[in-house]
Amino acid sequence: MNTTAEPAPETVNILDQVTLTNDQVALWLGQFHDRYLPGAQRRGMRLERVWRSPAGRDATTVHILWVLPGIRAFYRMRGAAAADPDVAAFWAATDRYALNRQRRALQPAMPEFVDAPEPDPAAPDAASTTGTGPKSGAAETNPTETDSAAAAPTEAGRTVHGTGAHA
């Protein structure tokens, strides 16, 4: 009797980022949905989430998060993508008007985080962690502007294309 359990395969997350001029975003998302998504799903990629963020005054970055069930699934997907001329055609068409694109393959580096307990409001240092606002005379910031600027820095180069190997 084998009592050793097989370790759970580590998921592989893929983060695609495509920066486009604001007037190209809807067109590209339509092409992505119609031309790329069905084949990606056949290759075992599960679409987790799609976001958009400002990338300067006239540009937007589309962030696409995919999930694969493990490293073997990742390499199977890559092999299937290399054999599919539609994949190369889609990314070549994207490169004709995208300002930038890149792909990152990510695996967990630490176990999943467990939510930390809420701080005790009666604790002496709780006020310093609650973000109750600036003290009298301190400069106020707009959290929306601060958060979006930190999340989406302005693109320095407008014609730089990413790592190339998109599947």
Spell out the domains of the chain, with CATH numbers in brackets.
Answer: 22-107 (3.30.70)
Residue 100 confidence (pLDDT): 97
Residue 74 and residue 82 in contact, taking contact as beta carbons nearer than 8 Å:
no
Highest mean pLDDT among 6-15, 85-94, 104-113 belongs to 85-94
Q: What gap in Å lies between CA 61 and CA 162, rounded to an integer?
A: 13
**pLDDT tens-digit map of 124-161:** 654 444 443 333 333 333 333 333 333 333 333 333 33
Q: Which one-letter amino acid corresponds to residue 134?
A: P
* pLDDT (average), residues 47-53: 98
Question: What Cα–Cα distance (Å) separates residue 108 from each residue in 13, 49, 113?
Answer: 9, 17, 11
Beta bridge pairs of residue 49: 65
Beta bridge pairs of residue 50: 64
* pLDDT (average), residues 57-77: 96
CA 133 to chain centre: 31
Residue 18 and residue 152 in contact, taking contact as beta carbons nearer than 8 Å:
no
